[in-house]
Structure 1
Amino acid sequence: MPVLRHLLLGIAAVSFSYALPTAAQPAQQNGRQIERVQAPSIADQELATYRFESFTLSSEDGKRHYKIEVGIPKRPAPATGFPVIYMLDGNAALTNIDTTDLTAMDALSPTVLVAIGYDINGSHDTTARAYDYTPPVFKDGVEQKEIEVRGRIGGGAAEFLELIETRIKPEVDLRAPTDHSRQTLWGHSYGGLFTLYTLFTRPELYQRYVAGDASLWWHDGFLVTDTFTHFDRSKALGKKIRLMEGGNRSKSRSASDSRAQWSAKDIVRDLQMDGVDISYENFSELHHGQMLRASLKPALRLAATPPQ
């Protein structure tokens, strides 16, 4: 395992300059901050093992616009359907998947890839994801509206979770038969925050959760100090949960309340005490941006791994 990990780290470090820094450039589209991407994604290639379909939709209020790419194995589906991985920041995710990943997944279990992205010419719609991926905030039982962190409005995770369940998943199932007992959710940064929000509020929706460098610091660590403290740990039993961090981060970066001084490692330790199948890994050699690729690779393999 140490050899494999060092190999993965080497690949991530070398290829990161191709996948992110040289390709992503801040830009504006219709008043929104967009990070541009120049590199083609796996969905743009002719592949022996996968074909891709896409569809678009908009949020109920018409403010956010999504493009969902669905990678469907070119194999007969099992009787129970294909396992499936739902990936947040789908535009960026697809540029960090290569044919080696698809081959490795095919050897385990052909898996449907669902990249939930934004209908933009770029890797991230930073305005939209700041809303979609961050949890609603409550004070004295009342939801606080127009929560602003770092100049962006947040708090829309409950709405976005409903959109995935009621509009995205049914559309995916029309395109490829999926096994609802083998669903994985992956996210990085704010996407990692959303992944943990889903686990702590609707754990039954997925069987496997992978969060890379989750932004636990958001709104003084509200997800930990409020949502996690009310989480029924027994509902995580039987799940497989993997948390990863880079740069040897240890505590929430901007939390002023001492109760918010939690890291992903603390969450893992707390849940392990309750018998939850959850693990933590720190990639101290990698910075925050590189953790997108570093956490996505094992998530793909976890999604394809047959149940034991």
Structure 2
Amino acid sequence: MKSEDGSRTYRIRIAKPDQAPPPAGYPTLYVLDANAVFGTAAETANVQGRRSDKTGVPPTLVVGIGYPSEEPFPPDRHYDFTLDDDPAALPLHPQGGQWPPQGGARSFLQFLENRLKPDIARSYAVDTSRQTLFGHSLGGLFALYALFAAPGAFRTYVAGSPSIHWNKRAIETEEAAFAAGGGTGEDIRALIAVGSLEENHKSRMVDRARELAHRLAALNRPGLHVEYRSFEDDNHVSLLPGLISRAIRFASG
């Protein structure tokens, strides 16, 4: 699929359950960084959805959003998942180089809302009231931005090891606007998760994620449910399979 202005190209992967959709349609899991994790998400949803009576997970449509590349984490993700294109606001490159282009999160959210989700709804029987957005690392940062900027776009937002430090100033501005809003009373679920082995990362990734989860929970906003989870003995990458499994069950709550 192309972005609205035609400048961006995405590879969309879809895993449709073998089972017939529930009366309201399939719950839908939208997975960022599909080049890396789509297979894991599709298999996890398939296995759990086959025994809903045991797992509590209904048959779920999985939509992976990736890029026409064989890399698990193509550099294009930098532009789509970040808010700030000011080089002075970004972390220093570890090799002293330059980061890929940044700052396209607002356009990417519009792509999801205006092109991808309507196309999926036209093509499959989906329950538009039970949609989940899953992102990890920079994708986790984007999931937080989507929660703050468009809290009604999805029912469930999953931010794994979110790179809050990357766009700290910009994401704090979005959080402040979200906190100041009164909310709609709609059921919104947010899962913020980290690997315990990330505790000593120089970005303070774990501290920032935990502090954010506590701030959101303290809002006591009707309909907003926030959960923080640390995956024991997992690092920034190894937590992904367990987090995907947890995300699918969390979305079914």
Q: TM exceeds 0.5?
A: yes
Q: Distance in 2 between matches of 1:262 and 1:236?
A: 29
Q: Which runs of 5+ in 1 are unaligned?
A: 1-56, 138-143
Indicate whether 1:94 and 2:38 are aligned. Answer: yes
Indicate whether 1:239 and 2:224 are aligned. Answer: no
Count of residues in Structure 1 that have an aligned counterpart in Structure 2? 237
CA drift at 1:153? 2.0
Deviations 1:240-280 (A, max 9, x none): 1111011354588448xxxx996111111112112231111
Residue identity in the other structure for 1:75? Q
Q: Secondary structure at the match of 1:229?
A: helix
CA drift at 1:235? 2.6
Q: Which runs of 5+ in 2 are unaligned?
A: 94-98
Q: Secondary structure at the match of 2:24?
A: coil
Does structure 2 conserve the Cα–Cα contact (< 8 Å) formed by 1:187 and 1:193? yes
Aligned pairs (5 A) from 1:16-35: none
- Matched residue, 1:116: 65
Indicate whether 1:65 and 2:14 are aligned. Answer: no
Which of 263, 278, 298 in structure 1 is aligned with 2:208?
263
Change (3 A) 1:117 1:100: closer
Change (3 A) 1:82 1:59: same
Q: Secondary structure at the match of 2:47?
A: helix
Aligned pairs (5 A) from 1:167-246: 167-219=115-167, 221-232=168-179, 234-235=182-183, 238-246=187-195
Q: Distance in 1 between matches of 2:112 and 2:199?
A: 31
Q: Distance in 2 between matches of 1:76 and 1:62?
A: 35
Q: Distance in 2 between matches of 1:217 and 1:156?
A: 17
Identity within the alignment, %: 30
Q: Secondary structure at the match of 2:19?
A: coil
**The 10-residue stretch of structure 1 (72-81 or 180-189) with the greater mean CA deviation from structure 2:** 72-81
Larger radius of gyration: 1
**Which protein is richer in strand relative to its size?**
1
CA RMSD, aligned part only? Answer: 2.7
**The 10-residue stretch of structure 1 (294-303 or 113-122) with the greater mean CA deviation from structure 2:** 294-303
Change (3 A) 1:94 1:77: same
Change (3 A) 1:215 1:72: same
Does structure 1 conserve the Cα–Cα contact (< 8 Å) formed by 2:194 and 2:206? no
Residue identity in the other structure for 1:124? F
Query: If the length of structure 1 is used for normalisation, what is the TM-score?
Result: 0.69
Query: If the length of structure 2 is used for normalisation, what is the TM-score?
Result: 0.83
Aligned pairs (5 A) from 1:21-60: 57-60=1-4
CA drift at 1:102? 1.4
Deviations 1:30-86 (A, max 9, x none): xxxxxxxxxxxxxxxxxxxxxxxxxxx233555532110111122222332111110
